[in-house]
Amino acid sequence: MRSRYSAYALGREPYLLATWHASMRPAELRLSDDVATRWIGLEVKRHEVQDDGHAIVEFLARYKINGRAHRLHETSRFVREDGRWFYVDGDIDD
């Protein structure tokens, strides 16, 4: 989760796509269109390994758009294949 947050903060679209599970991976993210977004912090609230191949991570990410603060609170699902963890999807909490 931390590496994916860092990739968003640094605009590393190839890394994000490579760590997204193929079944849910978008064709592109177009992070370069989001130049006004500045990521400012990540707090991992909990992580839970459900079995050898599945885990969840609840996190709170803070960011600013044009100087205005926002936060993203999500519970993400990950799956492990060939020893690597991949982001599948997540539920956003309001």
Assessment of whether the complete model's pTM goes beyond 0.75: yes
In this structure, what DSSP letter does residue 20 have? B
* Angle at alpha carbon of residue 40, lines to 93 and 27, rounded to 5°: 65
Q: Mean pLDDT, to the nearest integer, of 52-60?
A: 97
| Number of domains the chain is built from | 1
Q: Mean pLDDT, to the nearest integer, of 4-29?
A: 95
CB atoms within 10 A of CB 3: 11
Distance separating alpha carbons of residues 94 and 81, to the nearest angstrom: 31
CATH number at residue 69: 3.10.450.50
**What token pair was written down for 79?**
């799956």
In this structure, what DSSP letter does residue 23 have? T
Enclosing domain of residue 16? 2-93
**What token pair was written down for 37?**
């977004």
Q: pLDDT tens for residues 36-50?
A: 889 999 999 999 999
